[in-house]
Every structure is written in structure tokens, then in C-alpha cells.
Amino acid sequence: MRVLAVGCHPDDLELSCGGTLARMVKEGYEVYTCHVCNGDMGHVVIMPDELGKMREKEAENAGAILGVKKVYNVNVGDCMIYADDIDARREMVRIIREVRPDFIITHGPDDYMNDHLQVSQLVFETSFTATVGHMFPEYPATDSVVPIYYMDNLAGTNFVPEMYVDVTDYIEQKLSAVECHESQIVWMRDHDKIDFIEFVRSCTRARGLQCGVMYAEGFKTCKAHLRQTIIRHLP
């Protein structure tokens, strides 16, 4: 089974579903990740051009730890992503058509910042557009509209999971992937006084408490027409 996980910034997937991605790889899924924004505004000391390149490398390192097949980068600047941007739409369609996933994981439609909301909408729209052969015909269309699973909001705020994935055996792998995003760990510690690793561990533990395991990650399903299925794709 193939899965495409699409996050907004280079560390979003590791934070919200890194344990699930690692578990899926272990269980034989083909896992591909994509970050739409390049993370170039995630600092006030490191300049955007330099930071964007740093964060791309950090995402590749994190992907290697999780064992994903490929890390895609749409390379839109932070705060510059809009779901109706034709270039971003074309690139997202290209990636979906190249991966041809059985399902997609991405941000929910009520996450905490506009970049995340725009990516959620972008994925929703382009995963349908990918099936329309006359749109961007230079890439072969996919056969069907696939289910979308929404990963947890940051800190679990305003997110009530419908299903959980036990990631107890993968928590250290998840945290190792998060640690690859060194620029953000330092930035969050110095700027926001947050221990990022402890933050992620605590959030994953809280979801575990909710479902009776040590560590877990929560998800919801997109309930639009053609997206629902009796099959549970998550492990």
C-alpha cells in the first residue's frame, strides 16, 4: 500500500504523525512525504535563503530516519502558500500522480495557522484534480479519488481523534526524526522557551492515555463524497 503524507513545513509531519509513518514503513507500506513550504521564515537570525536550504536538508535527514521512499519539496515560501496558486497546484498534482497513493495524510481543515489551512485545502483539491486527465495532461492522471486522513493539530488543540495509531514502539524513532530539525529546536528553545522534544513526547503520551497505550497519534477522516471507505488504511 502506498501513502503520501503532505505537511506544510519541513517538520510538521514528524511532529504530528512521525510515529505512524515509521510504523507503516516497518509494516511494509511505501511511504512518501512532502512539505509544501520550505520553512524559510522559521527564524529571525538565519536569513531566509540559507534557512530554506537548511530545512530542506533537515527534512531529508528526518525522512531517512523514518525510512520513507522519497521526500518531496514543493518549495513555496512560508506565508506565501495559497490553495489556488496555479504553480503549487500543478506541482502537487504532479507529485500525487507520480506517487499514486492509496491514501493521503495531511493537515486538518481547522488547524492553527493559515499556511496549514491552505495546504489542507490544496491537498483536498489537487487529489481530485489528479484524476481529471485534461488538467495538467503532461502527467498521467490517477484512477480514483483517494481517502484523506487528517493528522493531529499542533498540541492537539481543537482536535478530537476518531482513530488512534499505537506508536509506542516507534516513539524514539519519531523523536530522532524531530531532532533532525535542529534549526527549529534551537529556535523554539531560544525564542519561545519550549523544549521541543519534550513537547512532542508529551503530546504523543497524552494521545496514548486517551486510547490505553503508552504513546499514540490521533487522526480524523475526510468525510466528503468519494473519500469515505470501509477500509481502515492506517495500521
pLDDT in tens, 218-228: 999 999 999 99
Q: What angle do CA 172, 177, 154 make, to 5 degrees?
A: 95
- Give pLDDT, residue 97: 98
Residue 200: all three cell numbers together = 512532542
Residue 139 has, within 13 A of its CA and on its CB side, a CA count of 20
At 33-78, the pLDDT tens digits run 999 999 999 888 899 999 999 999 999 999 999 999 999 999 999 9
**Helix 171-179 to helix 48-66 angle, to the nearest 10 degrees?**
160
With a CB cutoff of 8 Å and minimum separation 6, the contacts of 189 are 195, 196
Q: Write down the domain spans for the chain.
A: 2-221
Residues 151 and 217: their CA atoms lie apart, in Å, by 8
What CA–CA distance (Å, rounded) separates 92 from 84? 12
Buried b (16+ CB within 10 A) or exposed e, 148-171: bbbbbbbebeebebeebbbbeebb
Query: 140, 98 in Cβ contact below 8 A?
Result: no
Cell of 123: 491537498
C-alpha cell at 110: 481547522
Secondary structure of residue 17 in the 3-state scheme: helix
What average pLDDT does this structure show over 123-131?
A: 98
CA–CA distance, 131 with 214 (Å, rounded to integer)? 40
What span, in angstroms and rounded, lies between the C-alpha atoms of 131 and 144? 6
Q: CA–CA separation, 51 vs 32, rounded Å?
A: 23
Which fold does the domain 2-221 belong to in CATH? Rossmann fold (3.40.50)
DSSP state of 99: H
pTM of the model: 0.97
Q: What's the Cα-to-Cα distance from 234 to each of 3, 17, 184, 192, rounded to whole Å? A: 10, 11, 28, 33
Task: Tell whether the model's pLDDT for residue 182 goes beyond 90.
Answer: yes
pLDDT tier at 212 (50, 70, 90 boundaries)?
very high
Chain-centroid distance, C-alpha 110: 15
pLDDT at position 45 is 86
Q: Which of 3, 45, 47, 40 is nearest to 24 (CA)?
A: 3
